[in-house]
């Protein structure tokens, strides 16, 4: 598999961003809980689509971790800041466990279900896989994607039309891609709690208190396990704006080029 095509904005310490399931560089440019444009005077924001969106890609989190390291090696990056959303957070955690010498700090946004809670998710993903094919996006999958209330209502109210744009991006992949991405999710989980408790880098965990797809309990447990972590809760648009200030401070403290 070729090294992914990179989207790099800004200069300074690399901040690698790993998108969530059914997200992409393109959809993250429409909406993300991190405002990437506001960070370009602090860090070099490096984004890419997993496996270049290949319908033959391996989207399991360990495989995506290896892809991440190949990106770092190709760019001759040493120790970097890594952030990720949902499955991207899962991949970032795998990287911190397997390659601690490459990770300077972590930003984990809405971590996904893990461990015991992940078993039900895997069952749903396997059911989705039985419905996917190489020719069309099945109606079941379309309904599942349309039920996703992303972005949250507070963001949609302040930026009308964002939800529709995200929906269009998430329905635009090649049909076989959905098979592969759900297969990756169905075979993936966090490392063990014991392994995660050994992570020893500054970590910012960002979570919604009522996101059924990303249980708040997962974020809370990560906060307890990772010694140098801080949990940021976003409940409304004011919290969202405050979180952007928190993220900027975090990146400034742990690796920016200190430009104002």
Tokens (6 digits) for 86 = 């949902």
- pTM given for the model: 0.94
**Within a domain: residue 133?**
no
Residue 26 to residue 30: CA distance in whole angstroms: 7
CATH number for 90? 3.40.50.1820
**Within a domain: residue 58?**
yes
Mind listing the pLDDT tens digit for each residue in 155-184?
Answer: 999 999 999 999 999 999 999 999 999 999
> Which residue segment(s) compose the domain that 12 sits in?
6-115+191-254
Nearest residue to 105 (alpha-carbon basis) of 75, 82, 76, 88: 82
Domain count, the chain: 1
Phi, psi (rounded to 5 degrees) for 9: -130, 130
**Within a domain: residue 77?**
yes
**Within a domain: residue 38?**
yes
**Within a domain: residue 166?**
no
Mind listing the pLDDT tens digit for each residue in 32-52?
Answer: 999 999 998 899 999 999 999
pLDDT for 256 equals 52
Residues contacting residue 133 through CB under 8 Å, at least 6 positions apart: 175, 176, 179
Determine which helix (DSSP H) or strand (DSSP E) holds 122, and give its type and residue range: helix 118-131
pLDDT block averages, 10 residues each, the chain of length 260: 87 95 96 93 95 96 97 95 98 98 97 96 94 91 87 95 95 96 97 98 96 94 98 97 96 65
**Within a domain: residue 159?**
no
SS3 at position 20: coil
pLDDT for 1 equals 59
pLDDT for 244 equals 96
Residue 252 to residue 258: CA distance in whole angstroms: 6
**Within a domain: residue 140?**
no
Under 8 Å between Cβ of 240 and 157: no
């Amino acid at each position: 598999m070729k090294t992914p095509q990179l989207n790099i904005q800004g200069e300074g310490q690399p901040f690698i961003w790993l998108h969530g399931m059914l997200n992409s560089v393109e959809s993250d440019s429409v909406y993300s809980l991190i405002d990437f444009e506001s960070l370009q005077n602090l860090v070099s924001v490096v984004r890419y689509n997993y496996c270049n969106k290949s319908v033959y890609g391996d989207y399991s989190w360990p495989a995506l971790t290896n892809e991440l390291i190949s990106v770092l090696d190709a760019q001759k990056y040493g120790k970097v800041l890594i952030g990720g959303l949902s499955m991207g957070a899962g991949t970032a955690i795998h990287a911190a466990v397997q390659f601690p010498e490459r990770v300077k700090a972590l930003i984990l946004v809405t971590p996904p279900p893990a461990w015991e809670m992940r078993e039900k998710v895997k069952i749903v993903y396997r059911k989705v896989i039985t419905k996917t094919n190489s020719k069309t996006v099945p109606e079941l999958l379309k309904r599942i994607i349309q039920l996703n209330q992303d972005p949250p209502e507070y963001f949609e109210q302040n930026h009308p039309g964002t939800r529709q744009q995200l929906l269009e991006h998430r329905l635009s992949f090649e049909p076989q891609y959905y098979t592969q991405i759900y297969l990756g999710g169905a075979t993936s989980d966090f490392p063990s709690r014991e392994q995660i408790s050994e992570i020893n880098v500054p970590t910012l965990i960002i979570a919604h208190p009522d996101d059924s797809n990303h249980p708040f309990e997962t974020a809370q447990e990560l906060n307890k396990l990772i010694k140098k972590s801080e949990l940021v809760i976003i409940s409304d648009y004011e919290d969202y704006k405050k979180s952007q200030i928190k993220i900027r401070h975090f990146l400034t403290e742990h690796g920016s080029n200190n430009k104002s």
